[in-house]
Each structure stands twice: as C-alpha cells, then as structure tokens.
Chains A and B, each alone.
Chain A
C-alpha cells in the first residue's frame, strides 16, 4: 500500500447558503466514508489568509496570494492506495473536482 498526497488547487470564494454547504458536506462525507472506505489518512482545508511565503531567511512575503488563484493550494488529503492508477480513480470521485483541480502525488516511501 502506498500513500498519496492530494493537493487541492484553486480557490473558491463563492458564498454558499446553509443548504448548499450542507449538500457539499454530505457529498464530501459520502466520498470519505463510502468511496475511500478506510483509506483516508489525514487532511485539512487551508486558510486563505495569514499565509507567508519564505524565499530566503531575509525575504518573507506576507501579501499573498503568491500565485495565481488557480495555482493556490486550498487544502490537502493523504489517502492510501495500491498504485497511482487506483489513487487517481478514487480522486476522480472526489466532489471537490470541478471547483478545484486535484493533484495526486505518491509519497516517497522511507
């Protein structure tokens, strides 16, 4: 079993109604619970604000976004899967796809 990092790229600033939020959460929960079934390892959404970009000891950029918004990272997951093929299939079903672009990367085993 390998572990894969899924980077959630892009940003979504649309204001959702409580119903839309609920719908989105339900879809997401459905994916985590029924599609990943035990292969979810970790993950978190990321705040857009309070970001820092360090390019050297002396240069700390505080005025994000540092990239175009479609390149911004909005969150991540770590899932386990046999190979990149299976990880991709699992990621295809993630309901975030559409609003976001998902980048699947295999974690280098130690």
Chain B
C-alpha cells in the first residue's frame, strides 16, 4: 500500500505533466464549447487516481493509466450527455453511435493526436480576441495544469480575480466562436507570434515578478519553455525562426536562475553573480537554439534579447564581456521595442562604452519621463555612476532612494555593499 502522502506527491507531479495533455485531447473530442466538461472529466480522473492509488498499488505506468481512465470516463460522459450536447463537429455522430464510439475514441487517444490537440489548445488559449490577462490565465490552467490558487500566486492576485478572467475567456470563446484549430495559411504566422508573446509573458512573470514564491516562479519559467518546445515538435510551427529565438532567450536566462539576485539582466549587480552557479547545460541548449533562430527574414526582439543574454553567458568573467556588441544589440532592441526598461539598460551599457558621465545624462533624461519612478534600478544605476565619478553625496542619496524601492534582501545587501565601499 502506498502512503497517502506519496500518492499525493505523485499525483501533483503527474497532474502538471498530464493535465495539459488530457484536457487537450478531451477538448478535441468534446469540442471547445464543452471545455468545462473536459475539465470535469479530468478532475474526475485525477480524483479516481488518488482514491485507487491510495488504497492499492500505484500502477507501473501512471500516465498510461490516467489516459485509459480518462478515455473511459469520456465515453461515459458522451453516453450521459449525448442528447443534450453536440461534441466536436467532425466526429459528433461517430461518438454518439455505439457502433463507432469506442473505435473513434481509440483513434483520437493516440500520441500524435494528443500533441496535435495540445497545439490546437495553444492557439485557442492565445487567441488575440481574448483579453491578454485571460490568455495567460487560460494557458496556465488548461495547458500547464496550474490550479486556480497557483495562478493567483503567480500573478499576485486573488483566486476570485483569476476565476473571473477564466470565466471571461470561456465566454469570449463561445461568443466569438473561436475554433479549436491550428490556423493555416496567411494567419498562421501572425497567430504564432501572438502565441510566442504569451509564452514570453509567462516566462517574464516567472523570471521578473516580485512574487516571493520561488517554486511557482521557477515552474512558470519551465512551463513557458515546455510550451515553446511543443511548437518545435510540429512541422507547421517548427520552421518559424522566432520560436527558436524565444527558446534561446528563455534557456539563457534560466541558466542564470540560481545565481541571479536581480531581474532583467541587471548589469549593475551582474558582477556580483557567481558564474559557477550558471547552468552550463541550459547555456549549451540556449546557444544551439540561437543558432537555429538565424536564417529568418527579420530580426525580432527575442533574437536581440537572446543575443545579449548569450554575450553574458559566453564570456568567461565579468571583465571580458564584449560591451560593444551588447551596446549594438541594445540600440537595435530599443529601435524595435522602445521601452523605458530597455532605455535604462542601454544607458547602463553606454557607461561601459562612453564612460559614466554619458550614462548619467541618459539616466536623468529617463528620470524626467517618470515611467520608472518606482523602479529601484534607475536609482541604483545613478548611485553607481555618481560613485564612479567621485560625487559621493549624490551617489549616497540615489542608493538610499533605490533601497527604499526594493524589498528583496539580496538586492538590498548588494546595494548596501556598494554604498559602503
């Protein structure tokens, strides 16, 4: 007999990995308009796993067990509901006839169909007609097996807010008749870019958020990578270079997850990072993906961000970083995606190229726009460069301001160290 706790852990682990696959294939069968039914069947399956496995032995192949049970429960659900509901239009009749139901179901529960359904699910959850926050919540719920509570933790909000976002997403899918398909032809690339944006935002949420649950944050990053990997497995989506650029970017950032004490490539504290903690395997993967990302028609922001991250990763120590190259990448990035945070990073890199005075004047420009008023890094950078030019009182004042804007113990420690040197 397995202990209840062991079983709970196994189910949680499996849930993350299998839930997305199961909901995708169940939605393929029931149709996207019956997403709730798919979620109910999934819950029912997992509940039964918990019960059966706590009482008896855990099966040798838990994933296979889950799929078999989900399939059986799906057939039961169809029998129960066939007069009230219509299912996926291309197989509705076949599912409703006892002559063909079991066979049709067997044909859908195949590995390739499951992957195909996950791809359909990605494009449905990341449909531009849905509000962005709903896209993110729906993706985490249906593709990554996050619970409502975990999504709420990830986005620093309440469960009821997340429930509302999910509800709105499902309503919208019904109203707009959003189909459970992978777009074809012209619209494929536009829609694929929309998918990449959602994956990027999920990753960023994990990598940069101020949320203090490190497990959830790391899971967000891993799930974002997993979703992007799904795109590389299907021929319709694996020829789009930005997919690899985004993967490169995520791997190269994740490689530094353990060592990182600050967000967004923060160059100010990069010298403090312990490079021995960087994950060499992820760096290698990231560099491979970066190579694969070349050859497209356009250079995207993911390409540039990945290239910047790569420069940091391939440099043996902080002193050998090729700042000229990074500067050029930031100039291009700022043109492509003008944002205050990128301007801030550009200003910091400028210091390496043109000296601290040049950086200080760029930073004061930024200060005037007020967009970064509550971002400690702006003031930390000003403190750093005023210190470098020997204006101690200014440096001290800016470091103080930076300190007042961050709660992170690691960053506070780094800043205090700088103040007192």
Residues of A within 8 A of B (CB): 21, 25, 28-29, 32-33, 36, 38, 40, 42-45, 75, 77
Contacts and interface: CB of A to CB of B under 8 A. Distances in A.
A51 B116 CA distance: 42
Interface in B60-107: 93-94, 96-100, 103-104
A21 B106 CA distance: 12
Given A32-B100, A45-B98, 15 more contacts: A28-B99, A29-B93, A29-B94, A29-B100, A32-B93, A32-B94, A33-B93, A33-B94, A36-B93, A38-B93, A40-B93, A40-B96, A40-B97, A42-B97, A75-B99
A51 to B, nearest CB: 17
A77 B93 CA distance: 13
B386 to A, nearest CB: 75
A75 B98 CA distance: 10
Contact of B99 (A21, A32, A38): A32
A25 B94 CA distance: 10
A40 B99 CA distance: 11
Nearest to A45: B99
Size bracket of the B interface: under 10
B86 to A, nearest CB: 11
B98 A25 contact: no
Nearest to A34: B93
B80 to A, nearest CB: 15
Contacts of B104: 25, 29
A44 B100 contact: no
B98 A28 contact: no
Those 5 A-B pairs whose CB atoms lie nearest each other, nearest first:
A44-B98, A25-B103, A29-B94, A33-B93, A32-B93
Contacts of B94: 29, 32-33
Interface string B99-128: 110011000000000000000000000000
Nearest to A46: B98
A43 B93 contact: no
A77 B97 CA distance: 9
Contact of B97 (A21, A32, A38): A32
Contacts of B103: 21, 25
Nearest to A38: B93
A46 to B, nearest CB: 10
A33 B88 CA distance: 13
A36 B99 CA distance: 14
Contacts of B100: 25, 28-29, 32
A36 B97 CA distance: 12
A7 to B, nearest CB: 14
B88 to A, nearest CB: 12
Contacts of A28: 99-100
Contacts of A29: 93-94, 100, 104
Chain A CB count within 10 A is highest, among B93, B97, B98, for: B97
B75 to A, nearest CB: 13
A25 B100 CA distance: 7
Nearest to B92: A33
A32 B93 CA distance: 7
* B100, B103, B104: residue with the most chain A Cβ atoms closer than 10 Å: B100
A28 B98 CA distance: 12
Contacts of A32: 93-94, 97, 99-100
B99 A44 contact: yes
Contacts of A40: 93, 96-97
Nearest to B94: A29
18 contacts: A21-B103, A25-B103, A28-B99, A29-B93, A29-B94, A29-B100, A32-B93, A32-B94, A32-B97, A33-B93, A36-B93, A38-B93, A43-B97, A43-B98, A43-B99, A45-B99, A75-B99, A77-B99
Interface in B305-322: none
Q: Choose among A29, A42, A43 the residue with the greatest number of B CB atoms under 10 Å from its CB.
A: A29
A42 to B, nearest CB: 8
Most buried by A among B93, B96, B99, B104: B99
A42 B103 CA distance: 17
A40 B94 CA distance: 10
A57 to B, nearest CB: 30
A21 to B, nearest CB: 8
A38 B104 CA distance: 18
